[in-house]
């Protein structure tokens, strides 16, 4: 199963949520997305990064190449 990384605002900071647990503390959404992409690249094929938008909907930010379920961006 592919790993999914979610960039969310949690307790006043941008954080990465993976497997239901939050980690990291970033000053901006972009910094958190960049960190999540770095982690996703190490996670292997099929990893994906999503970020929470202003209206709390998630947007696909990065799909790994070669995954069976890659998202078109």
pLDDT at site 68: 45
- pTM, two decimal places: 0.74
Instruction: Flag whether 73 is in a domain.
Output: no
Where are any strands of DSSP class E within the chain? 4-10, 13-18, 21-26, 48-52, 58-63
pLDDT at site 56: 61
- The residue segments making up the domain with residue 26 are 4-63
Instruction: Flag whether 72 is in a domain.
Output: no
Checking if the pLDDT of 70 tops 50, the result is: no
Query: What are the tens digits of pLDDT across the range 22-61?
Result: 999 999 999 999 999 999 999 988 999 999 876 666 777 8
Checking if the pLDDT of 73 tops 50, the result is: no
Instruction: Flag whether 34 is in a domain.
Output: yes
Domains: count for the chain: 1
């Amino acid at each position: 199963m592919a790993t999914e990384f979610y960039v969310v605002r949690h307790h006043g900071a941008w954080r990465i949520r993976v497997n239901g647990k939050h980690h990291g503390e970033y000053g901006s959404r972009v910094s958190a997305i960049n960190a999540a992409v770095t982690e996703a690249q190490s996670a292997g094929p099929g990893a994906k990064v999503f970020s929470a938008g202003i209206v709390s909907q998630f947007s696909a930010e990065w799909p790994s190449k070669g995954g069976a379920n890659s998202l078109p961006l």
